[in-house]
Structure 1
Amino acid sequence: MKHTIFFLFITLPLFRVNALHQSYTDSLMQALNTTESIEERIDILNELAWEWREEKMDVALQYSDSAYHLSQQIQDIERQTTSLKRKGVVLKNKGDYSTALYCYEEALAYEIANNNKKGEASCYNNMGNIYKKWGDNKPALECFIKSLKIKESLFPGSITLANTYKNLGYFYFTSLEKLDTAIFYLEQAKEIAIEKKNAALEGLIINDLGLIYHESEMFEDAFTIFRDAASRFETLNDSVNMARVWDNLGRTATYMENYPLAELYHHQSLSVKKAHHDQIGEGIVYCNLGDLMLKKENYSNALDYYNKFLNISEKTDSKQNIVTAYQGLSLSYEGLKQYEEAIVFRKAYEEAKSEMDLRNNKEEVEELRIRYNTEKRKQQISTLQFEKELHVQALERSNQFNNALMLISGLVLLVAFLIVRNYQSKRKASQYLAIKIEEINNQRVNEIMQLQELKIMEAVIDSQEYERKRIAQQLHGEVGSILHTIKLYFNSMEKKFNSSLNESKEQYLKANELLDKVTCEIRDVSHSLDAGIVNNLGIIAALEELAGSIQLSNQMYVTVESYNMEERLESRKEILIYRIIQEVVSNVLKHAKAENLYISLTRREHDLNIIIEDDGIGFDVEHARKNGGMGLKNISTKVSHLGGDLVFDSKKGHGSTVIIDINL
């Protein structure tokens, strides 16, 4: 009985909402069939387009198109703009991003012309979401910031502004991976939500903050934050958002190795997903439970949960979830030492992943083609408009010329007389001016060349970081996946070994040991190439991880000290400084034969001081510079790009010290 009441408590509000929605749309249709006013028909059509924007998108498009054409007929710009925005949101929901963007750009032009700031902000926000869908983060951020600035001036301290802060914070977190900035905007949103006593919005913001702490592997803090979010939704009896937070609590508890609590939260979430007939959500919970069982090494239960996840994923045709399910099933069979089954699902995982990657690449190419054609079409329209304007201007100039011809003829003699009279004096002044202009131009050329060198350097550095990240992902993903499959084959062979084949088994065990070593080496290389930890946790955490990996390899003992480094530096600067230190450390490992390495970072008022000192064999600095050592040259170039100073202090037999001062 208690479970029946719980089910009704969750589902009755849904039935009521659906009934109200149907009643409202029925009344709109009735009004549409009875009204004779064109303006009222347009308003009703736009409202119907909005009501059906998700459930009946093709119908919604027909309504918005009808509203648009009627608005054109009566030349009602305001209603025409509303129709364009309705059409834009439906096209965005359908995935036709390029046409949606075109609608919003046209609507934006009308809003700017009519000085409708609220409508302008709405257009920028929707355009930003489209660029975000494309993964084009720079124009997305520009649109979001423009929308934010307008809303800050129009709606200070409002829920509208709080939602904008929240969305921008989430964008910085998920798309730009700038966690400090994400937290800044989310905290601003939270302040407004608290002030306005909006517990629902406050809960959503707190949940987003918890995700950031979880991503930063601060699991204890994340768990506390998620519990705070859950308490908001429990007070509001908001079961859908409670389930969302329970999922996050379950995942965080899994990482904290509090497995009973993790299982409890996931099952609570599962009951809500089943009550709402949310198949995709139900499947995700099964996946989370499968991950939990893998952590507990309960491979039989993991297998059961991943099979349920796979069945739902196949029903809903979710390619990404199918790939994840195959991977989970392979790992479960591997844990049960059923290697042949593990290999079957490993192959299925790799084939499905390759197919999905290929499809995604094709979709990206198609999107680029559509965007190119859209931009080309817009350029052609702009060119035609420009040519028309030129033609009109040419006619006007022709009339003006005819009218002024007589006046100009009368002035010619006077002008000629003045020119001759002043020719000599102007000639001297021109010569002097030419000399000055040449000096200024030379100075400008030098400045432009220096600026161009800086731009080239930035482009090279960005390109290097992109290539490092790509190679790291390829090593970790594709090569790591192949090695894991080979490992499964080895484990399968081990079960089939005859006890009498001792020599063969010894060779097998040696090969297996080497395979494990290669896997670890590739993981270490991919970590060293990818600067992700610098972006997420900062340069000090990245250097401490670097020190730990060196010490584990027993190459030398590394000490990292920092002073006044609590505040993060700008992201690109942190990555570049990390690469400089990484290169110095690499040189020490290769050449110094040192037992100890000391790294110190001290933040002062206007600069950052870095000291890297080892107790190795040292080297002749001048000799290394004259012989063009690439290591020293690369370090010097990167320090110079940051506008810093670099000093190498070393003698043979006395170790080495590198001192770097970088302006902040």
Structure 2
Amino acid sequence: MSAEGRNYSVIKYLTPFQTLKNKEELAKVYKYMASAYSKNNQEDKSFEYYTKSKLKYLEAGNKEQSMEVTLDIAYLCSTQNHNLETAKKIIQEYIVFAKETGKDNLLANGYYNWATLLIEDNPNESKMFFKKALEHNNKAFNEKTYITINNNLGVLYNEMLQKPDSALYYFNKNLDLTIKTNDLNEICTNYINIAGCYYYKSEYNKAIEFLNKANELEINAYVDKTKSLIHNFLSINYEALGDYEKGYKNLYKHTQIQNKINEELQSIKVSELQIFYETKEKDLENKALKNQNSLLESKRKINLLVLFVLIGVLISIIIISLLTVKNAKKKQLIAEQEKLLEKQKLATTLKEHELQNIDLMLESQENERIKMANELHDNLGSMLATLKLNFQNLKRQKEGLIDEENKLYEKTDDLIEEAYQKVRDMAHLKNTGIIGNEGLVPAVKKMADKMSILNLLEINVIPFGLKDRLDNKLEVSLFRMIQELCTNIIKHAKASEVNIYLTQHNGTDINLIIEDNGIGFDPKAVKSSEGMGLKNIEKKVEQMGGTFSIDTIKNKGTTIIIDIPL
């Protein structure tokens, strides 16, 4: 069985254990599944389960294990250029935690991971932190950490400092140790690294010798990736020797393996989508059947009720339409005023005044929401309440009704009550008071519950570190940003899952990440629209001294990251 097959078997075996009640044991299950997904090149799934593991460890009160999982998340982030800064923040937090504990093994891990991030940008500083990691690891010796640090030091000397002889010193130390333990995966890694040193020394035959040794080993982790790398490296060395025939053969093998990896990933995605859509089709069929039966039953009993419902709906539509038209006219007037002001502004103050206009627009929108909520509650709500009272009086005056008529009155009373409650809910949904009274996190969670659609869209809210209330104006701004972004996802992304991460880092800044698994989009092609809009959100964040970034790939979802200092 291939390594990929074994990893799928691990995932399949562990999946039923996700119902464990013990939080720490469940955290371990999530961690093992994340590792298996990572080895199968499914970084998105790996990140999802590492995050679940971290949160479960925190719930279980095991902060040390939670921080260890955080390093795995940092590694995944570091493999993606757009998440490098996030990886640095995570590792810095881990080092602070390690210093607080005073444990050498934790400090060794922290310094090693930090040094890894600095290899390309600052090789000399990276070397210093690798040495510090070795010092701490020698005090609380861990063989795996020791081997990893030596490997990275070798890469640093060979690739960045152009000192292949110094690199060979560290690689050979590891080779002696891994041969004793018969760790085939590490032996293979060392052979490849040693071959790299001989390549830089222009000793191509020696490099080919070690690459062939690596290729002969029966490794069980990252098999396809490793084999692809070996054949690619062999083709480069043969080309350097002028043996183009062997160079081409190895390049062809490299391409074959890469195609195999891509096909397997595509097959996984297709299988997941097929299962998803088959499930959705069955759900839709069941719902359609239930609705059909319900309609047939209703037609026989509630002909009169339809009239009352239609009248209520018609009144609601008319009032909402009037309010919408009025709101649109006011927005149009504000837009015209903004355009007139922009023409009069000097080029040197354009940016400052543009940001001020955004604040005015947001304030106007908040006032309109409050006014609309009050109109719904005071006017339409009072009308429905009066209608309910009159209907109940009518029922009391009709004593001695037959059972069938009594049921009809009761059904009508229930529908009027339901319509009244819906109007109240609409009023409350538009009102920003929910933020002022309960805070940002409860407001976002309620919004997510209302926007989520059973079996079609799941919106998850994952807060971390938000223990105290923020400034009310900041909470309202963040809530409106989240609300606008989620609305855009519902309208355009065709996503089935949305994750909202709200994080407060040591009381110094707020990090907001909204990610979906939708169809993605081209940020450059986005046009301004009603509401806050992406461009206005970006400018608002900039005004607050923060940063705004969009990571989106066609058919692979979108991630929006907002960092705002407190």
**TM-score normalised by L of structure 1:** 0.42
Tell me which structure has the larger Cα radius of gyration: 1
